[in-house]
Amino acid sequence: MPQGSSQARSAHRVAVIVDEGTNPFEVGVATELFGLPRPELGLPGPLYEVTLCGPTPEIRMNHGFFTLTGLPGLDTVDRADTLLVPGRPDNVVPRGPDVLDAIRRAHARGARVVSFCTGTFALAEAGLLDGRRASTHWRWADSFRRLHPKVLLEPDVLFVDEGDILTAAGSAAALDLGLYIWRRDHGAETANHVSRRLVFAAHRDGGQRQFVERAVPDVRDESLAPLLAWAQERLGDPLTVADLAARARVSPATLHRRFRAQLGTTPLAWLIEERVALACRLIERGEERLDVVAARSGLGTAANLRTRLRRATGLSPSAYRRRFGPGGGEALVS
């Protein structure tokens, strides 16, 4: 359950720009992630408040699947804490100047700007991404580079966090980025509750590959799921990649290939991510002793915990506790 200061916050306002031809899936992701009530969190009110808005009150969605009516205008963007821009398939057609102006205004006054899938094109058209890293769907990577050569496109990752601007790759990667935003705003424990409600993986690192090849096994099931479940129950043990390989009854090299093929990451990187996520949950649940958090999460030492947590979240353990812990304002002790 979420603890501490997150319960006292007023709802974070999210404006979603719906433009002509917008993809319905990404709008659905935005409303599912940030617009639905979350009674499972046990909070007195919502953590996010979502408003769809558009350049006109009536917007025809991609392929004319349906039309949204009664949309408020783009001045909604001027009151948002986060602006979210979904994608659309006709990316070579520029967005209207009123949409681009709304995106620029939001960024200029300090709102967080997020794009899903090819919504990155709109952010680039608005001039927000020149000289900055960004991601978009792999299918449109080449056309994006031609149109926006000053953007540092990372075409083979799920999402990119540039602090005030976050960009997701394909449509499903919008779920990964949305859950990442939940973790960044409210901690790992709360994000896990949301992911369980979605029946979706709680954490896929943004650096993982967009497209992961999964070979069909010829003889036996080579899914990593049983191994991952086994390891997640033993993160506090001194597990190594060799231990994982022995459990899977394969060589470390074979295990590495399977992780790359099925998860888009390495066994060691996966172990570290899972251990950091466990450390975050322990801190959020009130464990104040840094050495205990390090030991129970399998990170070993307080120094390693500090390094890994800062690398993953940008926060020290004490800062993480102040933001997401049950009491708030109390430093962890080693």
Token couple for 63: 């392929």
Q: Do strands 152-153 and 133-134 pair parallel, antiparallel, or not at all (unpaired)? A: parallel
**Range from 44-53, 150-159, 317-326 that averages highest in pLDDT:** 44-53
pLDDT tops 60 at residue 3? no
**Residue type (1 letter), 91:** N
In the prediction, which pLDDT does 72 show? 95
**Range from 85-89, 102-106, 202-206 that averages highest in pLDDT:** 102-106
Lowest mean pLDDT among 88-92, 164-168, 318-322: 88-92
CA quadruple 228, 233, 239, 245: dihedral sign: negative
pLDDT tops 90 at residue 332? no
In the prediction, which pLDDT does 6 show? 41
DSSP letter for each residue of 145-156: HHH-TTSEE-TT
Instruction: Please give the C-alpha separations between residue 217 and each of 155, 184, 220, 258, in angstroms, as whole numbers.
Output: 28, 37, 6, 11
In the prediction, which pLDDT does 71 show? 95
Lowest mean pLDDT among 104-113, 188-197, 321-330: 321-330
For 205-262, what is each residue's pLDDT tens digit?
444 444 444 433 333 446 788 898 899 889 999 899 999 999 999 999 999 998 888 8
Q: Show contacts of 317-321: CB within 8 Å, 24+ apart.
A: 317/283, 317/290, 317/293, 320/187, 320/280, 320/283, 321/283, 321/288
In the prediction, which pLDDT does 2 show? 41
Q: Identify the CA nearest to 75 among candidates 58, 54, 61.
A: 54
Beta-carbon contacts of 247 under 8 Å, excluding residues fewer than 6 positions away, are 227, 230, 231
| Percent of the chain residues topping a pLDDT of 70 | 87
In the prediction, which pLDDT does 116 show? 92
pLDDT tops 90 at residue 176? no
For 138-163, what is each residue's pLDDT tens digit?
888 899 999 999 999 987 788 899 99
In the prediction, which pLDDT does 45 show? 84
Banded model confidence at residue 334, pLDDT cuts 50, 70, 90 = very low
Q: Identify the CA nearest to 270 among candidates 234, 296, 231.
A: 231
**Range from 86-90, 237-241, 327-331 that averages highest in pLDDT:** 237-241
In the prediction, which pLDDT does 222 show? 61
In the prediction, which pLDDT does 223 show? 77
Banded model confidence at residue 333, pLDDT cuts 50, 70, 90 = very low
| Percent of the chain residues topping a pLDDT of 90 | 47
Give the C-alpha separation, 49 to 34, whole Å: 7
Banded model confidence at residue 121, pLDDT cuts 50, 70, 90 = very high
Specify the residue for token string 């709680």: 202
Give the C-alpha separation, 267 to 273, whole Å: 10
